Structure 1
Amino acid sequence: MVYSPSLTDIAAAAAIVWIFSRLMKKQALPYPPGPPGKPIIGNASDIPKTAKQQWEKFTQWKEDYGPIIHISAMGIHFVVLNDVNVAKDLLEKRSAIYSDRPTMPMAGELCGWDRPLVMHHYDDTFKEFRRSFFKLFGTRQNLERFYPLFEVHGQKLMARLIAKPDQVSDMLRKCAGSIILKIAYGYDVAQEGKDPVIDVVDDGMRQLDVLLSAQWLVDLMPFLKGVPEWFPGASFKQTVKAYRKTLDTMADLPFTMIKKKMREGTAEHCFVSSQLSESDVTPEKEYTIKWAATSIYGGGADTTVSAMHTFILSMTLNPDVQRKAQAEVDAVVGRDRFPTLADRPHLPYVEAVFKETLRWQPIAPLAIPHSLMQDDVYNNYLIPKGALVIPNIWAMANDPTNYKNPRKFDPERFVASPGHVPELDPHDLVFGFGRRVCPGTNLADATVWLEIAMSLAVLNFSKARDADGREITPKGEYTEANVTHPVNFPLSIKPRDAQAEALIQAGAGTD
């Protein structure tokens, strides 16, 4: 008797062939090399707990396994990119499939950080965010209208730094917040004392660092999202409640203020007022505008503070660099005015100091992971769909093939001279890659450069002294967070001379 297969038999056989072919496809190519893992948990016990330990460990693994590394934890694939060329090959040349963000149960779904741009998935709303940011400051030409704002607040910063040298971080945050909140909401920050919007945004950014730097069990076991607070091991739910409230306030407080002013007819032209004034604003679009505005401040304030604080630390530790940069400013600008962005093309050494500030201590050494949207093959390695792709900016910025003696703060590496070709511009790596590059890059670039040039024109940063007159050398320690900051250190900040002090006092009163 001849066997005649039924439709069920045919379907089952086809399913087996399909499953087998998928398994064979994945087994045909290896994952990128990496440390061997254990059954079930993979490399979960090998991955350090803090961000600083992670970028250092990933950089160490580069010596053992190469520029692209694969690790796994509880079934989640991680691919670490330790080389700038590999990062560009994948995150820029193949950006169509490498531009998503991973679904992060704790930070994203529960605490709500998947609503602003930083952790938003690659969808139509993300693209709308990017389009609106490009119109605002996507080109240097668009940014030029804000130059007077940058100059006013840069001058005020100089006065604050000499008045409160023990509160450098707070003074930098107030300056960055004043600029970005004015652009986004037309909001004027309180110039003395605390400001409610600055305070809540600072709280929100600190909490985001905690969310991204810590290891949360719910990220490895997403089913825990649904357990009640009283359930054993669900104490994270209390953190969720507090952190989500902070983020909601961070988005709603300035947005409500500008809407009220618009109703009263007293609103200044800004990002939110111009967006809300369009004729086709639906509730859905208003929601998008609110989170786009939140993204402007959330993405820019902390990063510019980090860069400026690193500059101040580097000048304190490298007085020869400071003196050389000051001499260039004096020769080009003179001593009777502050530098402006129009002076930038004529100050190559100041430009080099700025670039070395970005490279020497990257603002976000591990960036935010990308998520691969489909299987990919690179150099005969399989990178599986859903893998978290992590650009190790720290490793790239300290790669001796691109930067000679990388741990030395040396602006000369970026200065062209006979027989010396400038080393790789850190702009190519520190602001991210592909469609996830920081949309506020031009804003951060302009404001940080200007504040560096102004500081060099009128201030001296030097080591503090103890009661016996001995210099106190800063240890150069940094916070262990997604966006790093120098740990507060004692220093002396003084006007360069009487002429500089007069210029500072005149600038303090500008509006």
Structure 2
Amino acid sequence: MTIRLEQFSYTWAFLALSVIYALVTLLRFGRREKHLPPGPPTYPIIGNAHLVVTKDLYKKFKDWSEQYGEVYSLKIGKGTMIVLNSRRAVYDLIDKRSAIYSSRPDDEQFRNTMRNENIANMEADANWRIQRKVTARFLAPSILDGALGKISEAEVTTLLYDLLVSPENFVKHINRSTASFSAITLYGQRATHHDGFWATGVYEAMEAINRALTPGSYLPSEQFPIFKLIPKSWNPASIRAEEGFSIPTGIWTEARKRVESRRNQGDKRESLMDALLDGTMMLEGHDHGTKLANFVGALMQGAADTTAIIMRTQIMFLATHPWVQDKAQKEIDALCGVDKIPTFADFEDLPYINCIIKEGLRIRPVVPTGIPHRCIQDNWYEGMLIPKGATIMIPHWALGHSQYDDADTYNPDRYLNHPSLAIDYAASSDYQNRDHYAYGAGRRICAGIQLAERKTIDIDKEAFEESLLAGPEPYQVKFTPRSERHVEVIKKELENVGELLKKWE
């Protein structure tokens, strides 16, 4: 066989050009494209991936904004991350252009863990809108301030009594209390014991999800597609993703079965699951498979676990700042004396308590990095390109620490000019007056924000868990009644709410 020289030359030229093209493409992989917001220098292939695996990423978001601007970009492989450490940018993009900024990133680990059955991470489609509508309707202020308000106050009274009896178990008491109120609201069932199903199920579910989705614990396969070639059996993250779906789904399927069993015995109650099973509240397209169970379960996770974390954080800062306790006690005493436990109806007359809540959420938000959004089409902002598919970060911690010169100092006094609830500031066009971003922004703002708002020992205030939801690591604190009269009032109130709570057991 004879090979002509011309054919040989063309073949080698084609191969050489192919190799050059592949090398150029590879070297451009991870580079910051033209018109993107500025950001840290990139390296070939990895881009800025080496920077986002840092332990304190939420703090780096603030550092980078000081260096590259309030709106900047990070390149992770082929992916683009846009960080909005700007109140104005959050308002202009996430709030005003929410139609294209309300989706979640296309992340394989999240997709395998959530299976599009968790309202927090669902696609912003018709099913998600239905779930948001039902949630907003059931958790409306008129309902929360009515019958549910009495239940909340009864559980708070029970918590106060538990802290009197065994203060050393304050974490268990907080967990039971927040789980119990959530379970009554959503399932019509009270958590009577620390180790019962209605007290522990939600935390077991969230532990499985946290194990699966903690940042840095799985490979970024969307940004580096080559990782998708790794067999699932070789990838521990795949096992955690499977457990992150199967464990919560099993728990919430069991929860639905328990409600159905109660109802079959003629015991129908006022709860979201009862309303959905009755048909008095419609959730079209969700009454098959595991969708209904996971919808209500996701609300339980959002209501109980995050509230418990917030309460532990608030107690930690109060324990380390006695002067704040003194101001709070004086305000409560002036309104209630020693004969009454304050309720949500007293909110407007307890402005400093409101300041304490806001400051705790600002200085240590539950999700310090924020939960990412995704832009679904190319969009321009002040001459900068926000490309289709970009991950958009609303950095809760950085936003709360960039407005004040003494941002690392715990000081509720900074909120004395913010007398309203967080929902009022989130809905306002006066974005510069936003109190904090712990509940997110835009259409993806926490659906339970209305529910969340109603609610000297050496302690390391920097010791927080490294997980998707970041609460304080275990610490010790001492609870001391201020007088015997206060103890008597708590015991009396417990007797008064006993019958109310018993009907939910």
User: Number of residue pairs matched?
Assistant: 450
1:324-335 to 2 correspondences below 5 Å: 324-335=327-338
The corresponding residue for 2:372 is 369
CA drift at 1:222: 5.7
Residue equivalent to 2:306 = 303
Cα 1:262–1:222 shift into 2, 3 Å: farther
Structure 1 residues 349 and 341: CA distance shift in structure 2, 3 A: same
Report the Cα offset of residue 382 of structure 1: 0.5
- Which among 406, 426, 441 is matched to residue 433 of structure 1? 441
State the alpha-carbon separation in 1 of the partners of residues 190 and 318 from structure 2: 31
SS at match of 1:208: helix
Residue type matched to 1:239 in 2?
A: R
8 Å CA contact retained: 1:70, 1:77: yes
Query: What is residue 455 of structure 1 aligned with on the other side?
Result: none
Offset at residue 240 of structure 1 (A): 3.1
What's the RMSD between the two structures over aligned residues?
2.5
Q: What CA distance in whole angstroms lies between the structure 2 residues aligned with 1:29 and 1:39?
A: 16
Per-residue CA deviation, residues 22-47 of structure 1 (Å, 9 max, x unaligned), is: xxxxx995100111111122111121
Q: For 1:360 and 1:65, how far apart are their aligned partners in 2? A: 23
Deviations 1:231-269 (A, max 9, x none): xx3233332333322121132121111122222221312
Counterpart of 1:262 in structure 2 is 263
Equivalent residues in 2 for 1:1-80 (5 A)? 30-50=35-55, 53-80=56-83
Provide the rounded CA distance (Å) in 2 between the counterparts of 1:76 and 1:281. Answer: 35
Write the distance in 2 (CA, Å) between the matches of 1:301 and 1:427.
23
Mapping for residues 273-352 of structure 1, pairs under 5 Å? 273-278=274-279, 284-285=286-287, 288-352=291-355
Q: Distance in 1 between matches of 2:433 and 2:133?
A: 26
> How many angstroms apart in 2 are the aligned matches of 1:126 and 1:82?
27
Are residues 437 and 276 of structure 1, via their aligned partners in 2, closer, same or farther at CA, if it must alter by over 3 Å?
A: same
Shift of the alpha carbon at 1:49?
Answer: 4.4
1-structure distance, mates of 2:136, 2:284: 22
2:410 match: secondary structure: coil
Deviation, 1:282, is 6.7
Report how far residue 475 of structure 1 moved.
4.2
Change (3 A) 1:281 1:74: closer
**Residue 414 of structure 1 contacts residue 425 of structure 1 at CA under 8 Å; is this kept in 2?**
no
- Alpha-carbon distance in 2 for matches of 1:113, 1:507: 44
Letter in 2 for 1:292: F
- TM superposition shift of 1:202: 0.6
> Which deviates more from structure 2 when the two are superposed, residues 290-299 or residues 433-442?
290-299
Contact 2:215 2:468 in 1 (8 A): no
Distance in 2 of aligned mates of 1:281 and 1:295? 15
TM-score, normalised to structure 2's length? 0.83
Deviations 1:292-347 (A, max 9, x none): 21121111112111221121111111111111110111111111010011111111
**In structure 1, what is the equivalent of residue 485 of structure 2?**
499
* Higher alpha-carbon deviation: 311-320 or 272-281: 272-281
- In structure 2, the CA distance between the partners of 1:225 and 1:503, relative to structure 1 (3 Å rule), is farther
**Aligned partners of 1:58 and 1:80 also within 8 Å:** yes
CA–CA separation in structure 1 for the residues paired with 2:60 and 2:283:
48
Do the aligned residues in 1 keep the contact of 2:105 with 2:389 (CA within 8 Å)? yes
State which drifts further: 249-258 or 143-152: 249-258
The amino acid across from 2:185 in the alignment is I
Q: What displacement does 1:283 show? A: 6.5
C-alpha distance in 1 between matches for 2:452 and 2:343: 15
Query: Residue 164 of structure 1: which of 152, 162, 166 is its match?
Result: 166
Inter-partner Cα distance in structure 2 for 1:118 and 1:166: 34
Hey, what does 1:237 align to over in structure 2?
238
CA drift at 1:226: 7.9
Give the deviation of 1:285 after TM superposition: 3.6
Question: Residues 348-497 of structure 1: matches in 2 within 5 Å?
Answer: 348-399=351-402, 402-416=403-417, 427-447=435-455, 463-464=456-457, 472-497=458-483
| Distance verdict in 2 for CA 1:211–1:403, change over 3 Å | same
Residue 214 of structure 2: aligned partner = 213
